Chain A
Amino acid sequence: METQSSENLLSEGTFEGEAPGLAGIVGRMRLMVGDQALGVLVVDNGRVKLAPDEPPVDVTAVCKSRDLLIRLLRGQLNPVMMALQAEGRLHGDRERGIKIVYGLRGSNPFVQAPLNEKDQ
């Protein structure tokens, strides 16, 4: 499996910031499009950052496309709808995964982040 760093999701540099909806939640969620790993979303009690794809991870989010993954990061995806329409799925600690995806639905830094929306 080819592993790429989180820079692939960002047009420039790395990105981190406040996500109040994730207060009280700690975890590492691996981000994948198909079988390609694009990095790890590190959640630390209300703060989030994109990090290179390195273990350990608690949960893996696999989306069908980069667009869907970016919508997930921006809090625009409902995890139930994502699963029902087979647009993506969560592996591993799915309870924590849903908490993270739901927590992103409030305000989060990725709404404004310069995420690279095109496949590499």
Chain B
Amino acid sequence: MSLNTVSILDGNAFVVSDRRGDIEASPVDTQGLFLDDTRFLSRWVLTVNGLRPSVLSVDEQEYFKVQFFEAVTTSTIYVDSHLSVARKRAVGKGFQEEILLENHDKEAIDLDVKLDAGCDFADLFEVKDKMQKKGQLYTKTTNDRLTLGYKREGFVRETYISASQKAEIGEDGLRFHVHLPPRTSWTVSLDVQASARATGDEPMRTKATVDAWVGAAPRLVCSWEPLHLIYRRSLVDMAALRFRTGITPGALPAAGLPWFMAVFGRDSLIASFQAIPFAPELAASTLRTLALFQGRVEDPFRDEEPGKILHELRLGELTAFEERPHSPYYGAADSTMLFFIVLEEYVRWTGDRALARELEREARAAVTWIDRYGDRDHDGFVEYKRGNDKTGLDNQCWKDSWDSIAFADGTIAPLPRATCELQGYVYDAKLRTARLAREVWNDPVWAKQLEAQAVELKKRFNQEFWIPERNFFALALDGQKRKVDSLTSNIGHLLWSGIADDEKAASCVKHLMSDALFSGWGIRTMASSEHSYNPIGYHVGTIWPHDNSFIAWGLRQSGYRAEAARISRAMLEAANLFGGRLPEAFGGYPRSETHYPVEYPTACSPQAWATGAPLLLIRTLLGLESDGTHLIVDPAIPEPLGRIELLDIPGVWGRMDAFGRARAAD
């Protein structure tokens, strides 16, 4: 988000304004009140006697509320302002705003207070892609309410604006005539309500509810002071990103502000995985919601196939009229495997076998998808190619930008593409599903089959993806089964899944820690040695915190304690310099060139899997694992981070504490 904007959010409702609190959406500015992927207010401008107050300060107290302090000035430094303005705003299914005017003068004043209001009801995709509306906008006024509306056939969205004080209500906003005696104040409360889906009457968030959620997470005590802020920030941001569907119980993480405040397969699963030792209930909600929308039929428009887990669910106009396929869209080749990985991890940590039993049918359908549809050409590897050539995604792995899967010489790999980390996820998913089949579903025969398939996949993967002349695994096999030979961070995910043979893994670790991939702040998505490398290229050179958290976790699991600690430390130091909040991605510039990590211009922030990255890094540093009964603690903490204690870690054991301190060898 721009540094010149202020955002507050609550689930998938959010308000983006300028630093005065005004909303003036333009084709290039993503301001507005948004809910369910629709903008419900695109203009909200306060004037007093025709002047726009000047901002003095902004108090971003909580993620769901903000306060703006302003003064009505005369634009000359020689005359003090005698009229201050405070605007307090809190978001819910719309927002409530309280405006306080204070007359500090010895004379009474008469004020013409005006709030301009308007709305374009743009779908979030229209905002992003600058498209035109096809329906009709309208306004309705009554004595006590202004209604802004939009209608296209059965798709109707309305915004209701009302005030606590008597106002002149016109089609373009509300006007108040205020007489303020000396040293007095005047207040008005404005209620802006967005009509949207019926999600029940969930009360607006309060500091108490957020504190309760954060308080339920383990308590962190550490000697490196910035880690307190980073941890607290992660928990609060995760609380902010909680999204309620109103259909399944609980909340799951939405992907990120501003473009991705929706249910996502990959993003919600990855963030849930990162949060399991801290807030395991997120994983349960994510799994139940994704299971509910599991693919049932072959539908090329939505890239839907039986058993497939969705990529993205949207609720805006373009989805409603099938101008976009997100109802839901299934264009992700990895979310189905991640579903199993999170399910098994969740059950092993919490002992909640009931959820696994509840999802057995979905799990069996998902395994069938991997073998029948994921492996499109039945060569033993999962590959992807979109069925929707117009609005589907070309790349259906986590690096989903158009140019991410390229050869070392920069040539884009032809489709279908079998990226390496997908094979790792299949390997891991089958082993984890085998465990569930044996321990929960009482099906040892199926468990044996799955394990045998995993062993065979590992053998073939190590033969067919390995590039002996460069000593690392290919980024992918392309449509002609050629090895895509770029050096990328994808090889780090192979450590996490365990698909790489030990010797080959050791060689990949050397590459991961080389100057070409490790910038000093983190591991780049693409090595600086490759032709496509760009330090501010979305997936071809930037550093992604979630990517690094999983690479660090994989290093740790593979026995590379020092390397895991080095990446964890670098990423947490970057988080500290970002004020405790890691963005979606940042520049891949070498640390030797910059004392600060360089911002990526359009990064989402907060973004769920970046928010979850410090959580997985803390787990990595403490070496936290569950064997299904006990909490295992095996710390490897680098010297500058000193001592870390994580208290009251929830799990099948109830609540347990973990302690770790730096040792010279770490």
B155 CB within 8 Å of chain A: yes
**Contact residues, A57-76 vs B (CB, 8 A):** 64, 75
Check: B443 CB closer than 8 A to any chain A CB.
no
Asked whether A112 is an interface residue with its Cβ less than 8 Å from the other chain, the reply is no
Taking CB atoms, residues of chain B closer than 8 Å to A21 are 296
- Report the Cα distance A95→B293, complex, angstroms: 10
Q: Are B320 and A85 in contact (CB under 8 A)?
A: yes
Proximity string of chain B (144-157) to chain A, C-beta cutoff 8 Å, 1 when within and 0 when not: 00000000011110
* B320/A95 in contact, CB under 8 A: no
- Taking CB atoms, residues of chain A closer than 8 Å to B360 are 24
| A contact residues around B328 at 8 Å (CB) | 80
Q: What B residues does A23 contact at CB under 8 A?
A: 361
Cα separation A66 to B293 with both chains bound (whole Å): 25
| Separation of A87 and B156 alpha carbons in the complex (Å) | 12
A80 touches B296 (CB 8 A): no
Is B197 an interface residue, CB under 8 A from the partner? yes
Interface status of A81 (Cβ within 8 A of chain B)? yes
Q: Find out whether the CB atom of A84 lies under 8 angstroms from the CB atom of B155.
A: yes
B247 is an interface residue with CB less than 8 A from chain A: yes
Bound together, the chains give a CA A64 to CA B153 distance in angstroms of 13
Given contacts A84-B155, A95-B247, contact A24 B361 (CB under 8 A): yes
**Interface contact B154-A80, CB-CB below 8 Å:** no
A3 at the interface (CB under 8 A from B): no
Give the interface size bracket for A toward B. Answer: 20 to 34
CA distance A87 to B153 in the complex (A): 10
Cβ of B463 under 8 Å from chain A: no
Is A102 an interface position by the 8 A CB rule?
Answer: yes
Q: How far is the CB of A68 from chain B (nearest CB, A)?
A: 11
- Total interface residues on B, CB under 8 Å, equals 26
Closest to B306 in A: A106
Query: Are B320 and A81 touching (Cβ within 8 A)?
Result: yes
Asked if A83 and B197 sit within 8 Å, CB to CB, the answer is: yes
B220 to chain A, nearest CB (A): 35
**Contact (Cβ within 8 A) A80 B327:** yes
Question: Is A106 touching B296 in the complex (CB atoms < 8 A)?
Answer: yes
Given contacts A80-B313, A80-B328, contact A85 B296 (CB under 8 A): no
Point out the residues of chain B lying under 8 angstroms from A83, CB to CB. Answer: 197
Evaluate contact between A95 and B296: CB separation under 8 angstroms: no
Query: What's the least CB distance linking A58 to chain B, in Å?
Result: 14
Q: Is B292 an interface residue (CB 8 A)?
A: yes
Contact, CB under 8 Å: B306 / A94: no
B296 touches A105 (CB 8 A): yes
Give the contacts of B349-405 with A (CB-CB under 8 A).
360-361
B322 at interface (Cβ–Cβ under 8 A)? yes
Chain B residues lying within 8 Å of A105, measured Cβ to Cβ, are: 296-297
Q: B248 an interface residue at 8 Å Cβ cutoff?
A: yes
CB-CB under 8 A from A86, the residues of chain B are 154-156
Question: Which of A23, A80, A87, A103 has most B Cβ within 10 Å?
Answer: A80
A89-B154 Cα distance, complex, nearest whole Å: 13
With both beta carbons as reference points, the residue of chain A lying nearest to B155 in the complex is identified as A85
| Shortest distance from the beta carbon of B252 to any chain A beta carbon, whole Å | 14
Render B263-293 as a binary contact track against A, CB cut-off 8 A, 1 for contact.
Answer: 0000000000000000000000000100011
Shortest beta-carbon contacts, A-B, top 9: A84-B320, A86-B154, A24-B361, A80-B327, A105-B296, A85-B154, A94-B247, A105-B297, A106-B296
Q: List 22 A-B contacts (CB under 8 A).
A: A23-B361, A24-B361, A80-B319, A81-B320, A81-B327, A83-B197, A84-B315, A84-B320, A84-B327, A85-B155, A85-B320, A86-B154, A86-B155, A87-B154, A89-B198, A95-B248, A95-B288, A98-B292, A98-B293, A99-B292, A102-B294, A106-B297
Seed contacts A23-B361, A103-B296; 16 additional CB < 8 Å A-B pairs: A21-B296, A24-B360, A24-B361, A75-B297, A81-B320, A83-B197, A84-B319, A84-B327, A85-B153, A85-B155, A86-B155, A87-B154, A94-B247, A98-B293, A106-B296, A106-B297
